[in-house]
Structure 1
Amino acid sequence: MDTVPGKTTENPENSHVSEQELRDAMVQCLIDMGALRTSRAVAAFRTIPRHLAAPGTDMAKAYDVESALITKTDPTGVDISSVSAPRIQALQIEQADIQHGMTVLEIGSGGVNAAYLGEMVGDRGRVVTVDIDPDVTARARDFLKTTGHRNVTVITGDGGSGALDFSPFDRIVVTVQAADIPSSWVHQLTEGGRLVVPLRMRGMTRSVAFVRDGQRLVSDGFELCGLVPMQGAGENRMRVVVLHDVEGEEIGLRLDDHPEPDAKTLAQALSMPRTAEWSGVTLAGDESNEHLDLWLTTALDNLPLMAAQPAARERGLVASASPLGVPTLVEGGSFAYRTVRRTDDPDRFELGAYGHGPEGQKVAERLVEEIRTWNREHRGDRAHIDVYPADTPDDQLPRNARVIDRPHSRTTITWP
C-alpha cells in the first residue's frame, strides 16, 4: 500500500515529535498492554496516518491508545460516528485473526480501521466497508484515497444487510455496538469464518469473536469494550429512566429489555438512607470486574445499569459513578447496586452492595449472594456465548443458559 510521508506535529508541547514517532509510541504501548500481538497487525498500525481521519484533532490525541476520534454527533449530542480508539481497533483485529489474501467485511466505516484491514489482507485480499451515513462514507473514501488503499471498497448502505454482492466473507468485523445479529451476517460468512462484533447483552457490551458453525455462531473469546450504537434497521438503543434530574448530578437506570421500573418510587428510594452489605470477596486494584458483572447479569433477572454523574457521587447521593453504568438489582420499589470499599491491604478492595428503599437491605443481600456465588463457583471462568437463529426452539439451546431474544437471533450465555 502507498503511505503518506511523516510530518512534525504542530502542537507546541510535541513540536519535535514526528507522526512516525507518535505511531511508533502508540504501537509500543499497544504491544505492552497485550492489545497488539501479531507482526502483521503491528506493521499495519505503524503505517497508517490515523490523524488524517479527523482533521483539526490534536495529533498526539489521535495516537493516544484510549482516545476515540468523534467525527459526528446527532442533534441531541449523542456520538453516532467515531474512529475507535487504537486499543479497541487492535483488540478487534487480533480477535478476527486476519490473514493475507482474505476477503473482509467491515460494518461501520471511518477509514482508519479499513486501512488497517487493507494492509493486513494485502494486494491479493479485499476489504469491503459499509456505513449507513453518506457523510461517514465520504470521509472514509477521502481518507483511503489519501492513504492509497485500492483494495478497499466503500459502500453507503445499511450494514445490517451486509454486502451480498461481495460475499462470502472470511471475516466480518463490526465496529459499532450491536444488540442483535442479523441473519445476513451469518449467511454471508464462510463456514468456519470469524465474526467479531461488540455485542450488547442486557446492557453489557463485549467484543465477541464468533466462529460460524452451520447456522450457529460459537464464541471464541471476548473483550470488554464500548462503541457507538448501530444505526438503521438494526438500531436498538438503551433507554434511560431518570431517578435524579438535578443538572450536573443526574442519576438514571439504563434499560436493555429490562422490566419497566416505577421511576417515581425508585426516586423516593434513592432519597432514603442507604444500607450496606459486604461480601468478604476482594479484588486486586488492577483486577477487572468484567467477568463478575457478566455473571451477575446472567444470574439475576432485573439488573439494569445505574449511570450517575461524578457530582452525584461527590454529593454522596451514590457511592459509584460511571457513564456506562453499575449493575443494579431492582425489586419493586427498592434497589441495590454493586460497590467496593478499601481493605487493610492497600491493593485489595472488598465487593459489596448499597441498598435503597424499604427492602434495600434485602435486595443488597441478594446481590451480594450472587457475588459470593461467582467467587465460589466461577471466579477464573469465562462465560460461553452462542448465537442461534431467532426461530430456534428452546430445547435446542444450551441448558441453564441466560437467553437474550432479539428479532433476528437468540443469544445464550452459559458458564462452566
Structure 2
Amino acid sequence: MIMGNNMTTAHPAVGIQLSVGLSALGNTAEQTKQALTTQQNTLSFVSGFIPEKQVWVGAYPHALIEKVPEFLNDVDSRNLRFALTALRSIEAEVRAYTAQFDPKRLAVILGTSTSGIADNEKLLKQYFVNQADIEIQHYKQEMGSLAKGLQMYLGWEGPAYTISTACSSSAKAMAAGQRLLNADLADAVLVGGVDTLCQLTLNGFDSLESLSNALCQPCGAQRGGINIGEAAGLFLLSKETAPVMLMSAGESMDAWHISAPHPEGKGAAEAMQKALQMAGITSDEIGYLNMHGTATPQNDAMEIKAVQTVFQNYDVPISSTKHKTGHCLGAAGAIEAAICQQVLVDQSWLPLHQAGPIDPELDQANYVLNVQLQQPIEYVMSNSFAFGGSNISLIFGTKLK
C-alpha cells in the first residue's frame, strides 16, 4: 500500500494517493520486488481450463474474500471478489481520504475483459449440452457490473463505468480517471482493473494458437506465445500531488487488423509520442519502460520497432514482466502500473527481462539484465496494446514539469 500527501497542483498530472496490486507476484511490495528481481518462477502449470491439456498461467496464490455483502449478491463473482480483496487492503484509507468529498463527486472507472463469465461457464455448459432448465444470473458477467459493484460497496454516487478494450482496458481506465479529474467532474476516482482466469479466454487464445506451451519468453528467440494471468490493481487518483504521479496518457488506434498490430508499430509509437508530449518531457528522461511484451512474434517485433522510433539513439532500459505475471488481459495495464509505481518509490531496482536468448532481430535494445538501479529515475513509461490496435502508453513520475 502506498499513500500520497495533501499538496495541490494545477498540472494535468494527477496524484496516486493509494494503490494496491494483486497478481501471481503476490500481495505485498516485498513479494513483488522479490519476484521481479530474481529468476524464481511465479507461474503455475495447471489443468482444468482447456480439455486434456495443462497450461502455464499466472494464478493469484492467495485466498480471496469468501463472500460479498448481501446487497451485492446479484453481481457476485470471483472477479468482484478479487476486486474487493484488493480494495480491502486500502479500504480504511480510501474511506478516510474520500470522506471530505461529496459522494456525487466520487467516481469509479475500471477495466476488465472477463467480468464474471467464469462463474457462469459451468452453468452455460450444462444449459447448452443438456438443455437443462437452469437459471443463469447474467448480471455478474456484464462488463458494467465490476465498476457498479465497487460503487455500491463504497456508497459513492458519481460516475461508475467499466472499460473493456481487451488488453488496454485498465490502462485506459487510468487515463479516463485522469481526464475526469482534469475536467473537474470528480474530486477522486478509483481506477484500475481486474481480470480472472477462465475457460473462455484460455480456450479462445488456444484456438488462435497464441498460447505458449512453456513459460513465455518476451522478445525471445524461441518465443511461442503468451501465458495468461489474473490480477487486480486499484488506484485512488486525485488532483493532489503524491510521491508518484500519473503524468500522462498517450492513446492511438491502429485499426490495422482484428487481432494483429501494425507490423511497423506505427500506432504504438504514436501512443508513446503522445504520452511524452502530454507529460512535457523528452524520451531520454524516461528511466525505464515496461513493455507490453506479450511474447507473440508479431507484438514483440512491432514494439521494438516502435521503441527504436521513439527513443532513437537513447538506450532506455526495457523489460516485459509478463513472464512473471502472465498476460493479465484487461488488468495488465493496472498491474504493470503498480509495478512501475513501486520502481519509482523504491528507487533501487528494475524488473528483470526474461533470461532466455533474445531474438537476434530484436537484440538491439537495452533489456534489463541487471536489477540494480544505477541512479535515481524520475519517469517511467508503461505500454499496453490491444486487439484492433487499441494502444496506450502511460507515464508515471516523481517530478512535475
TM-score (norm 1): 0.29
Structure possessing the higher relative contact order (Cα contacts under 8 Å, 6 or more residues apart): 2
Please identify the structure whose Cα radius of gyration is greater.
Answer: 1
